[in-house]
Structure formats: C-alpha cells, structure tokens
Amino acid sequence: MPGSLRIVIAKPGLDGHDRGAKVVARALRDAGHEVIYTGLRRTPEQIVRIVMDEDAQVLGLSSLSGAHGFLFPRVCELLNEAGLDDVIVFGGGIIPERDRSALLDSGVSAIFGPGTTSTEMVDFLDSLEV
Amino acid sequence: MERRELARALSNPQDISCPPRIREPWSVLGVTGSPGVGKSCIVDKIVKSWVDEGDKVAVLAIDPSSPVTGGALLGDRMRMSSVDANDSVFFRSIATRNVPGGIPAMLDRMIDLLFHEGWRKIIIETVGSGQSEVRVVAVADRILLVEGPGRGDIIQAEKAGIIELSDIIAVNKSDLPGAEKVAQEIKLSLEMSDTKPPAILLCSAESGDGISELIETINDLPNAKGPSIAKARERLLSANQEILLNHPDFSDVLKSLVADEISIADAMALLKGA
C-alpha cells in the first residue's frame, strides 16, 4: 500500500461535464490522497505537462464525449515520450465495453464506468506499487 | 536540471541544498486573499504579463490539507489554463501537510531551488485566512492582498495581520457593485494606522479593467529594505512553531492532552528545551 499519492484528475478534450471527475477527486481526497484537478478542456500536451510539474504518480482521465479512443492513447503516448512511463493511468466516464481492451492495450491500467463505488477506486489505488 | 528532475526535487524539499537566492531585485510575490475573491484569475494575468516580458515564472499554489484524512484537493490551476503548456511557466500545487519541517522553511528552500534553476519570478498563492497562512505568505519578498465586494465586514474579518504585511491591496471585481465602497473602507481603516499605507487599486480580472495598472504598480515596487517588523515577526513565530512540531515528544504530549491527563501549561513545559 503506497500511502498518500499525488493524483492528477484531468478532463481531456472538448467535454463540458465534470461532475463525475469532481466526485472522484473528492473521494480520493477523503481517502487521504493529494488530488490536483485540471479543470475542463485540457489538451493531451497540457495534461502531460501538469503531471510532470506536479510530480504525480497517478493520472485519472475522465471523458464523456466519446473521444476517449483517441485522447486516452494519445496521453499515454505523450507520457512515454516525456519519460513519464511510470505514471499509472486510469480512465472513467462513458467508455463502452467494446472500446476498453484497446485502451488497456495503449497503457491505461483500469477503467471505471458508471456505478463504480469510490471504495473500488480507492482499493485500486491501494493495490498500486509506486 | 531538467524540468522533471526539478519537479521531483520539489517533492523532497528537506533534501534541497543550493545557495540562497539573491534578494535584490525582489523576485518572490505572495498573493493572498479569501476564497473566491479572484486570486487565481489575477495571478493568471500577472503570469501572462511577466512571460510576455520574457521572464520565466514559477507559481507555487498552496492549499490546506484535511486535518482528518490528510488528503487535499488542489484546484488552483483550473483557472490558469493559459499557462499549462508554456515552457516559461512552472506551476506547482502544494498541500500544507506532508511537508516535513513546516511549510515556511520548506517553501524557502523550494524558492531558492527554483531561483537557482533560472525561475526568476516566483509567485506564492495562498488562501489568506488563518494565522498559519499569513506565515506562509510572509516568506515572499512582496505581498499582494486581493479583496472583493460583497464580503461583509472585511477589515473585521482580516484583522491587522495580513493587511499589515501587504504592499498592494487589489480590490477585484470592480465590475460588480460595492467594489468601490470596499476600497474606500480599506482606505479609511488604513488611514488610522501610523505606517505608510499600501497602494489600493480597483481592478477586474473579468473585464481587464485596471489590470495593467495593477501589474505596473507591482513591477514598480521597490526592493524590500530588509524584512519589515511584521514580516520578521511572522518568520520568527513560524520558526518557533517548527521547533514545537518537530519535538520528539510532540505526538505523545498531544495524546496526553486529548486524554485530559495534562494541562496546556504542562504540555508547554514538557515541550520546552527542544
């Protein structure tokens, strides 16, 4: 169990809904983590820069716009290019089942859809070795 | 030092060893004020202006940790989208906990490191409520206090502490009714003190009114002639507090206090001579 983590919660792309991301941020804060929320409509480049400057170990990506198939792998690719391949990436939002294996292959470690309890997410973070 | 290396080093401020920064010209601006007055938006404008002038600007945004869980939600960068991909801006969120040795001392080291690495303009942003926050901002060379309309009796709420330390007071949201009245009230209350009052400026981060005047006034601030009494007082108090917090018996004494076994006076006696 890694103890307190620094976690960036990000909203990539043109997606104006962040209720879910905020609820997740709050739940992870209450679990004792330091959570940095990026705000809406960030580019993959901006997100990678934020992860670097904030020295975060974990990145949570939230998307409800349907563009996850491009945005999530792009963020993972840029993380690798920046030498941040040790950062754990998880995703959430509206991600259809059929899209998930491609995202997991691209470097996303876990995907949490609607109905996920905050305990599930906290347990996932507790299981990380960082 | 590469950017990532720098970011990592800032996570372990107790291990930083680099020469202290040069104090002249001044380089560290503290920005404080109550939640919701528009600190982040004003910081965004200052950063943009300094970057346009060719400066490299680092922002350290400090937010309180939950005393119960130790967790923190750091959202200061939400309003600073313009800086997220600029190579000349380094933005770091800091939670007050998890900084061994106390925030003011560690902040000093982080600032020295950033300065050493070429970040010659540094902004500390903090919520301006509570004595510990005043201490954090006292690390800065120059201090900007942001106020806004519709906050009731501000002077009463803020007490002397932070106003005493401020070099400039910006009354933001001048596009909303009541801003002018707030500026007037602050002016009046400051006229009663003996020391030279700070500049009071009206501005609106929303409309842009008064922002360039504010930034000019900040840029024209003279170098501090050594720390003022109020600032020195805060630094001394925070150093004293660090001694207390780092005392090996601190948590045991705390437990005895909770269990009602000792009084505060007993506790202070036990923690003396650290």
Tens digits of residue pLDDT in B140-152: 888 899 988 876 5
Q: Which amino acid is at B84?
A: D
Stretch A75-87: mean pLDDT, rounded? Answer: 95
Stretch B211-240: mean pLDDT, rounded? Answer: 79
Tens digits of residue pLDDT in A87-114: 999 999 999 999 999 999 999 999 998 9
The residue whose two tokens read 């939230």 is A62
B7 touching A, CB under 8 A?
yes
In this predicted structure, what is the pLDDT of residue B110? 93
Six-digit token pair at A22? 């905020």
Stretch A23-36: mean pLDDT, rounded? Answer: 92
Instruction: Provide the domain count of chain B.
Output: 2
Six-digit token pair at A13? 């792309």
User: Is residue B30 within 8 Å of B139, Cβ to Cβ?
Assistant: yes
C-alpha span between A39 and B41 (Å, rounded): 14
Query: How many Cβ atoms sit within 10 Å of the Cβ of residue B255?
Result: 11
B41 touching A, CB under 8 A?
no
User: Is residue B150 within 8 Å of B178, Cβ to Cβ?
Assistant: yes
Q: Which of A28, A35, A53 sits opposite B7 (nearest CB)?
A: A53
Query: What's the domain range around B255?
Result: 227-274
Q: Which of A29, A54, A83 sits opposite B73 (nearest CB)?
A: A29
Q: Which amino acid is at B20?
A: P
Residues B87 and B168 in one domain: yes
Residue A116 has pLDDT above 80, yes or no: yes
C-alpha span between B41 and B230 (Å, rounded): 28
Residues 6+ apart with CB under 8 A from A50: A8, A10, A36, A38, A42, A56, B77, B84, B91
Q: What stretch of H or E contains B258?
A: helix B250-258
B92 touching A, CB under 8 A?
yes
Stretch A7-21: mean pLDDT, rounded? Answer: 92
Query: Confidence band (pLDDT; 50, 70, 90) for B102?
Result: low
Query: Confidence band (pLDDT; 50, 70, 90) for B189?
Result: confident
In this predicted structure, what is the pLDDT of residue B108? 85
Longest CA–CA separation in chain A, Å:
35
Q: What stretch of H or E contains B267?
A: helix B264-270
A123 touching B, CB under 8 A?
no
Query: Confidence band (pLDDT; 50, 70, 90) for B127?
Result: confident
Six-digit token pair at A76? 């993972």
Residue B157 has pLDDT above 50, yes or no: no
Tens digits of residue pLDDT in B19-62: 888 888 899 999 988 888 889 899 999 999 999 999 999 999 98
Residues 6+ apart with CB under 8 A from B103: B62, B94, B96, B132, B135, B136
Chain B closest-CA separation from residue A114 CA (Å): 22
Residues B141 and B234 in one domain: no
C-alpha span between B72 and A60 (Å, rounded): 16
Instruction: Provide, rounded to the nearest whole percent, the portion of chain B with pLDDT above 70.
Output: 85
In this predicted structure, what is the pLDDT of residue B71? 82
Q: Which of B188, B211, B226 lies at the terminal end of a domain, its last residue?
A: B226
Residue of B160, B156, B143 lying closest to B221 (CA atoms): B143
Whichever domain contains B206, its CATH number is 3.40.50.300
Six-digit token pair at A87? 């950062």
Query: Confidence band (pLDDT; 50, 70, 90) for B81?
Result: low
What residues of B are in contact with residue A30 (Cβ under 8 Å)?
66, 69, 71
**Taking all residues of chain A, what is their mean pLDDT, rounded to a whole number?**
92
Instruction: Provide, rounded to the nearest whole percent, the portion of chain A with pLDDT above 90.
Output: 82
Residues B185 and B69 in one domain: yes
Residues B262 and B184 in one domain: no
Residues 6+ apart with CB under 8 A from B32: B39, B125, B126, B127, B128, B133, B134, B137, B143, B144, B145, B146, B162
C-alpha span between B259 and B198 (Å, rounded): 47
A7 touching B, CB under 8 A?
no
Which of B77, B79, B114 to mutate to test binding with chain A, by most A CBs within 10 Å of its CB? B77
What domains can you pick out in chain A, each with its CATH number? 6-126 (3.40.50.280)
Residues B79 and B169 in one domain: yes
Which of B15, B59, B84 to mutate to test binding with chain A, by most A CBs within 10 Å of its CB? B84
Residue B243 has pLDDT above 90, yes or no: no
Q: Do B77 and A30 touch (CB under 8 A)?
A: no
C-alpha span between A46 and A75 (Å, rounded): 10
Stretch B200-224: mean pLDDT, rounded? Answer: 92
Q: Which of B7, B69, B77 sits opposite A38 (nearest CB)?
A: B77
Q: By CA distance, what is A23's nearest residue in B?
A: B73
User: Is residue B115 within 8 Å of B1, Cβ to Cβ?
Assistant: no
Q: How many residues does chain A have?
A: 130
Question: B205 to each of A14, B18, B35, B45, B166, how far by Cα in Å?
Answer: 25, 36, 15, 8, 20
Residues B261 and B171 in one domain: no
Residues B75 and B85 in one domain: yes
Six-digit token pair at B113? 């490191």
**Taking all residues of chain B, what is their mean pLDDT, rounded to a whole number?**
83
What residues of A are in contact with residue B90 (Cβ under 8 Å)?
53
Residues B207 and B242 in one domain: no
Beta pairing partners, A63: A93
Residue A130 has pLDDT above 80, yes or no: no
Q: Do A36 and B90 touch (CB under 8 A)?
A: no
C-alpha span between A51 and A10 (Å, rounded): 10
Q: Do A43 and B85 touch (CB under 8 A)?
A: yes
Residue A1 has pLDDT above 50, yes or no: no
Stretch A24-34: mean pLDDT, rounded? Answer: 92
Q: Which amino acid is at B92?
A: R
Residues B243 and B163 in one domain: no
Residues B139 and B263 in one domain: no
Q: Do B71 and A37 touch (CB under 8 A)?
A: no
Stretch B1-14: mean pLDDT, rounded? Answer: 92
Residues B145 and B181 in one domain: yes
Q: Which of B66, B84, B98 sits opposite A49 (nearest CB)?
A: B84
Chain B closest-CA separation from residue A98 CA (Å): 32
Q: What stretch of H or E contains B126?
A: strand B121-127
Residues B71 and B178 in one domain: yes
Q: How many residues does chain B have?
A: 274
